């Protein structure tokens, strides 16, 4: 099995998604008022892993009809960014993450915060979401990026391969090591062009942070997670190192959670990150959980 030192730190694999739901919802889960940091503010001052960030967000876009939840920052996200930046995080100590890693985030929202924190530590970080977040996430990258005057200087263009017919692909500047690419789980196809490089064919880590809240999105989200991780199978450079998928979420509706973990477990062998491997900020919030998945072999995918 790949990453023995990672699996040693994770405890037992989840064999029964219903039992995992029962265990998680047996604890006292505090109300988090949905989980926004501050849905009224247009800017947030956040301090993560010893650095300060000024994040622009949009209460106006949040209140537009339609699904625009990514217009503001969600509470679990700064905590996950902080945990991912810690050198004793099991992803670093086990070698899943290294300075050579390529990371892709799904549903990043307007802040790009996890990317801002992690990009200086890895080779390349690709933020993705629906295109409505593009303007603000680009602004937040531009104004907060520690790479601004160093690595982050190339300005070639990169698009995702899109299934949408008759609709031109949106093009955003490629900031080299930290960039935003639109990727809609329901509309877009995952291809290796997402890496933004001819030389890189797959990702080491896929992150989804607070993206489980709507039953209709569970199947397309999990399928997208699986499709991104599957890029590794056709990458001869990563044959002995599977892609890892990390899903962080705030526990809300138990039925939504159970639908997600059942669907996720069909494609991924799944572990919950134990409290002992989390930072105090995450540990002290019983409603926040982080799961890690490694893609099952195609023949093993559950029906
Ligand atoms: C609750 S927000 C979390 C945003 C951000 N990760 C955070 O934690 O601050 C959920 C995110 O999922 C994104 N999302 C919802 N449906 C999507 C879809 N079909 N394709 C891509 N992203 C989607 C939203 O745009 C939003 O950014």
pLDDT digits (tens, 9 = 90+) for 166-218: 333 333 334 459 999 999 999 999 999 999 999 999 999 999 999 999 999 99
How far does residue 281's CA lie from ligand 1's centre (Å)? 22
pLDDT digits (tens, 9 = 90+) for 38-70: 889 999 999 999 999 999 999 999 988 877 999
In 10 A of CB 159, how many CB atoms? 16
How far does residue 108's CA lie from ligand 1's centre (Å)? 6
* Domains contained in the chain, number: 1
E-state strands within the chain: 43-48, 51-56, 102-106, 124-129, 157-158, 172-173, 178-182, 205-209, 244-250, 268-272, 288-295
Can you say whether the dihedral through the CA atoms of 11, 14, 191, 235 is positive or negative?
positive
Q: In angstroms, rounded to a whole number, what is the distance separating the alpha carbons of residues 265 and 64?
A: 34
Ligand 1 closest atom vs CA 109: 27
Specify the pLDDT at position 56: 96
* Containing structural domain, residue 40: 4-300
Specify the pLDDT at position 27: 86
Any ligand 1 atom below 6 A from CB of 36: no
Residue 160 has pLDDT above 70, yes or no: no
Tokens of 192: 């290796």
Tokens of 232: 């590794």
Tell me the three state secondary structure of residue 27: coil
How far does residue 96's CA lie from ligand 1's centre (Å)? 24
Ligand 1 closest atom vs CA 74: 9
Which of 114, 129, 134, 137 gets mutated to test ligand 1 (max ligand atoms within 8 A of its CB)?
A: 129
Domain of 195: which CATH number? 3.40.50.150
pLDDT digits (tens, 9 = 90+) for 15-44: 999 999 999 999 888 776 678 898 899 999
Specify the pLDDT at position 299: 58
């Amino acid at each position: 099995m790949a990453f023995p030192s990672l699996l040693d730190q994770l405890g037992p694999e989840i064999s029964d998604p219903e039992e995992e739901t029962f265990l998680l919802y047996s604890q006292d889960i505090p109300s988090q008022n949905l989980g926004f940091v501050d849905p009224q503010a247009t800017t947030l001052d956040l301090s993560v892993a010893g650095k300060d960030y000024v994040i622009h967000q949009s209460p106006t876009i949040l209140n537009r009809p339609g699904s625009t939840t990514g217009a503001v920052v969600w509470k679990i996200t700064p905590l996950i960014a902080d945990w991912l930046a810690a050198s004793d995080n099991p992803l670093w100590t086990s070698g899943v993450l290294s300075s050579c890693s390529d990371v892709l985030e799904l549903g990043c929202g307007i802040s790009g915060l996890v990317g801002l924190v992690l990009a200086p530590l890895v080779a390349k970080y690709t933020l993705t979401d629906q295109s409505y977040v593009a303007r603000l996430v680009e602004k937040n990258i531009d104004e907060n990026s520690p790479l601004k005057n160093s690595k982050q200087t190339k300005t070639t263009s990169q698009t995702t391969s899109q299934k949408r017919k008759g609709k031109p692909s949106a093009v955003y500047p490629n900031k080299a090591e930290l960039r935003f690419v639109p990727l809609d789980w329901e509309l877009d196809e995952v291809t290796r062009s997402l890496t933004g490089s001819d030389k890189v064919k797959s990702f080491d880590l896929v992150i989804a942070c607070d993206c489980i809240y709507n039953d209709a999105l569970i199947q397309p989200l999990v399928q997208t997670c699986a499709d991104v991780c599957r890029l590794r199978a056709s990458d001869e450079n990563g044959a002995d190192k599977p892609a890892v998928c990390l899903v962080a979420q705030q526990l809300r509706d138990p039925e939504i959670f159970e639908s997600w973990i059942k669907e996720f477990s069909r494609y991924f062998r799944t572990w919950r990150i134990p409290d002992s491997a989390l930072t105090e900020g995450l540990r002290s919030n019983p409603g926040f959980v982080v799961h890690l998945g490694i893609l099952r072999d195609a023949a093993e995918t559950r029906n």
